[in-house]
Structure 1
């Protein structure tokens, strides 16, 4: 039996009687160090100050408050809980949607109320036995050292081959974190050849998709779902693959099934809303975004894009006579939160005002005009880059609001920043036929392609000259600027080649307002770190 007197516990539940009951059970087991919390926020504050061996976390802590799933998300992302700790999700609810939503975030165990002291002790003993067995792996995970994780797994499997199945996912995660993609693919295929495991299917599917093997990934996901139809993550992966292949209709259907199985995931609801909006299924879109907004209130995955998406879906669903009072009120509330909660984000302030102006265009043209003027005043002095998707929507709204010149200016700016992306240029072409906008980036894109070829062939000097020429034409283009920065940093000594480092820094400053949502943002951060931390 576990030496409970040496362990500390945190009980999180909004009912004092339950906290007292569990505390009594633990006292009878010999536990001396027991803390309690009645809200998720209190639990997080306590975990920031003290490391707990065990956390018994109730799932539902009251309406309008963080639930157990959201507490676990925060603990993991903010690293407030050790991998050696035991986190047990406790709930009286046993619905499929609740259980799947809770299990998606992989607590150590899921415990259903009511339970007695014997049942609690048996469950805790089994969990601790497993954690103790895997202790070297847990400690390596806490240190964030994937190489040490692999070594600990190898040592444990050598000690006793029966432990090999316990180490599979830890080994796969470590290979992923080390970017050893070929080794990971081989390892996952070996696992699936021996025994189909849902997490292995999901990880291999993501890897194949990332490496551009889209059709292979689709077939894998479809095979996996036949064996594991209750795994929402597999539906998520298949939906991403289908979107990449241009099959947005089927992708929406797949994601709807994932939401049906596990509806309490904020990002999944938001993704469904986005897909349905693109498919002009405004009813499904507004419902999904509405859920994302409601569920996101207490979540770290709360995203103003869900509010903006909800407003856009409701506007799109409206009739030619305008929007009814109830819909206008919902739009106003959603956009009001964006403006209130993001006072320093000029992009969001502009977008919220334009969205509201668009919603009032038929019913209240005077207010719509004032809001448009406010948005344009902020837009004039804004240095922050919008995402391509947001910029295209803003351009479209400006056109709808009678601001054709401002709309054209937005499209021109979007083409300069993102013009190397053919999907973005297709979006711009839907809003304008102006050749000055549509063809402005052709020469720069051609120079950029030549620069990439020269760089890969080892012609560093030639590559730099080509990138410089491209930047003269489009100084805000993110891809060209990052390519230029990388070429300048390649083989450069910060002391001997100070002018090249200065040029690199100037390049990165030029695109320093890249949105964090941009897929290239991690690359920008990595290059910036190399350029400025010298």
Structure 2
């Protein structure tokens, strides 16, 4: 039996009687260290100060408060909980939406109310036995060392081959983190050949997607969904593949099914809203974005893009008929929240004002005009690049509001910064047929591709010269600047020659306005540290 007197517990529930009841059960089991909290926010603060062996967390802590799923997300992302700790989701609710939502985030166990001391002890004992067996693996996970995870898995399997099934997913995740893609693919296919397993299907689909093998990834997800039609994550993966293949309407249909099964995921609702908006299904888009905004109030994944998407969907839904009073009020409240909660983000301030101007363009053109002026003034004074999606949205709004010249200026800037991305250029092409904008990036992109080929062939001098020529054509282009700096640093000594240092510094300074949400930002930071030590 578990030595309960050595373990620490945290009970999180909004009912004091339940907290007292569970504390009494634990006391009878010999537990000496029992803390309690009545809100998720309080639980997070306590976990930030102390490591708990067990957390028994109620799923629903009252309307307008963090729920257990959101607390578990925060604990994992902020690394406030060890892999050795045990998180048990407790609830009296049994709806499919709640159960699937809770299980998607993989707590160690799910416990239905009511329960007694014997049932609680039995469940905890089994969980601890499993964790103790996997202890070396879990400790390696806490250290963030995937190679050590593989070693620990090998040692456990050698100790007793019967434990091999317990290690499969840990081994797969470690291979993924080590970027051993070919080994991982072979490993996952071996698992699936032996027995259909949902997580292995999902992992193989994600791997194939990452490697650009969309047809093969789609085939994997199709097989998986036939075998496991109740797993929302498989629908998410399938939708992602379909979007990449240009089948956005089918992707929306697939994601609708995921939302039907498990509607309490903010990111899933946001993705559905984005897809529906692109498909001009404004009713579905407004419904999905509305859910994302509501569910995101206390979620780690709260995103102002959901507010902006909701406003856009509602405006588009109104069409030529215009907006009724109730819709205008919802748009105003939605955009006011963005402006209020993101005061330091000039890009969001610009977009919120333009969106509000769009909603008022017919009913109050004078106020709409003032909002556009405010937005353009902020746009001129911005110190940071807009993301490609945000910039395209701003350009489209300016065009609709009658400011063609300003919209064209934004599109030109987007082409200069992101012109190496064909998807971005397609977005620009949907908004303009100006050959000066559409053709400006082609020469720079060609030179950049030649530079990449030379770099891979270890022709560094040639690569550097090609990148310099490309950057001269598009001095704000993020990818080209990063490529030039990386090629200059390749094989360089710790102390850079003055000329190389200056060229690297200049290249990085050209793009230091890139948003930190850009997927290339971590690469930029690494290169900046190498060059400037900051």
> Which category describes the TM-score, using the shorter chain as reference length?
over 0.9
Structure 1 counterpart of 2:201: 201
Structure 1 Cα separation of the partners of residues 349 and 315 of structure 2: 18
Report the CA distance between 1:532 and its aligned residue: 2.9
Instruction: Give the alignment's Cα RMSD to 1 decimal.
Output: 1.1
* Cα separation, 2, equivalents of 1:47 and 1:496: 45
Q: Distance in 2 between matches of 1:272 and 1:98?
A: 19
Q: Is 2:457 the counterpart of 1:460?
A: no
Name the residue aligned to 2:299: 299
Alignment of 1:484-503 (within 5 A): 484-503=484-503
User: Match of 1:297, SS?
Assistant: helix
| Structure 1 residue 383 displacement after superposition | 2.5
2: distance between equivalents of 1:503 and 1:89?
A: 55
1:76, 1:70 → 2: CA distance?
Answer: 10
The aligned residue for residue 91 of structure 1 is 91
Partner of 1:66: 66
Structure 1 counterpart of 2:344:
344
Matched residue SS, 2:479: helix
CA distance in structure 1 between the aligned counterparts of 2:462 and 2:447, rounded to whole angstroms:
11
Deviation by residue 1:136-188 (Cα, 9 ceiling, x = unmatched):
11111111111111111111100000000001111111111111111111111
Within 1, Cα distance between the matches of 2:48 and 2:413?
Answer: 44
Number of the residue aligned with 2:388: 388
Matched, 1:22 2:55: no
Counterparts of residues 261-300 of structure 1 (less than 5 Å): 261-300=261-300
Asked if the contact 1:57–1:89 (Cα under 8 Å) also holds between the matched residues in 2, the reply is yes
Contact 1:349 1:375 in 2 (8 A): yes
Q: CA deviation at 1:433?
A: 1.8
**Partner residue of 1:324?**
324
- Kindly state the Cα deviation for residue 528 of structure 1 after the two structures are TM-superposed: 2.7
Q: Which runs of 5+ in 2 are unaligned?
A: none
Partner in structure 2 of residue 212 of structure 1: 212
Q: Aligned pair 1:175/2:172, yes or no? A: no
Instruction: Measure the CA separation in 1 of the matches of 2:478 and 2:37.
Output: 47
CA distance in 2, matches of 1:145, 1:498: 37
Once the 2 structures are TM-superposed, how far is the Cα of residue 16 of structure 1 from its aligned partner?
0.3
Identify the range of structure 1 (62-71 vs 491-500) with the bigger mean alpha-carbon deviation. Answer: 491-500
Q: State the partner residue of 2:442.
A: 442
What is the CA distance between 1:499 and its match in structure 2? 2.4
Distance in 1, matches of 2:156 and 2:108, equals 20
The CA distance in 2 between the partners of 1:486 and 1:181, in whole Å, is 24
Residues in 1 aligned to 2:338 and 2:11: alpha-carbon distance in whole angstroms: 35
Distance 1:467 1:265 in 2: 43
Deviations for 1:2-38, whole angstroms, at most 9, x for unmatched residues? 1111111000000001001101111111111100000
Partners of 1:14 and 1:41 lie apart in 2 by 12
Q: State how far apart, in whole Å, the 1-side matches of 2:96 and 2:516 are.
A: 35
SS at match of 1:57: strand
Most deviating of 397-406 and 353-362: 397-406
Give SS of 2:34's match.
strand
Query: Normalising by structure 1, what TM-score?
Result: 0.98
Aligned equivalent of 1:472? 472
**Cα deviation per residue 1:371-392 (whole Å; 9 max; x = unaligned)?**
0000000001112111211111
Would you say the 8 A contact 1:494–1:501 is kept in 2?
no
Post-superposition Cα deviations, 1:340-374, rounded to whole Å, max 9, x if no partner, equal 11111110000000000001000110110000000
Distance 1:456 1:6 in 2: 56
Confirm whether residue 44 of structure 1 aligns to residue 64 of structure 2.
no
Aligned to 2:142: 142
Q: Distance in 1 between matches of 2:442 and 2:127?
A: 60
Deviation digits for residues 68-116 of structure 1 (CA, Å, limit 9, x no counterpart): 0000000011011111111000000011111110011110000000000
Give SS of 1:368's match: helix
SS in 1 for 2:62: coil
Q: Which residue of 2 aligns with 1:12?
A: 12
Higher mean C-alpha displacement, 482-491 vs 369-378: 482-491
Structure 2 CA distance for aligned equivalents of residues 203 and 83 of structure 1: 20
Unaligned runs of 5+ in 1: none
Distance 1:78 1:230, change over 3 A: same
* Alpha-carbon separation, structure 1, partners of 2:203 and 2:517: 22
The match for 1:189 is: 189
Q: How many angstroms does 1:500 deviate by?
A: 1.4
SS in 2 for 1:320: helix
SS of the equivalent of 2:89 reads strand
Deviation by residue 1:316-358 (Cα, 9 ceiling, x = unmatched): 0013232111111111111111111111111000000000000
Deviation of 1:491 after TM superposition, in Å, equals: 0.7
Q: Quote how far apart the aligned CAs of 1:519 are.
A: 2.9
Q: Higher mean Cα deviation, 448-457 or 205-214?
A: 448-457
Deviation at 1:515, TM superposition (A): 2.5
Secondary structure at the aligned position of 2:522 is classed as: helix
Deviation at residue 496 of structure 1 after TM alignment: 4.7
CA deviation vs aligned residue, 1:107-141 (integer Å, no higher than 9, x gap): 00000000000000000000000011111111111
Structure 1 residues 213-232: aligned runs within 5 Å = 213-232=213-232
* Contact 1:321 1:362 survives alignment (8 Å): no
- 1:423 positional shift: 1.9
CA gap 1:322/1:50 in 2 versus in 1, 3 angstroms: same
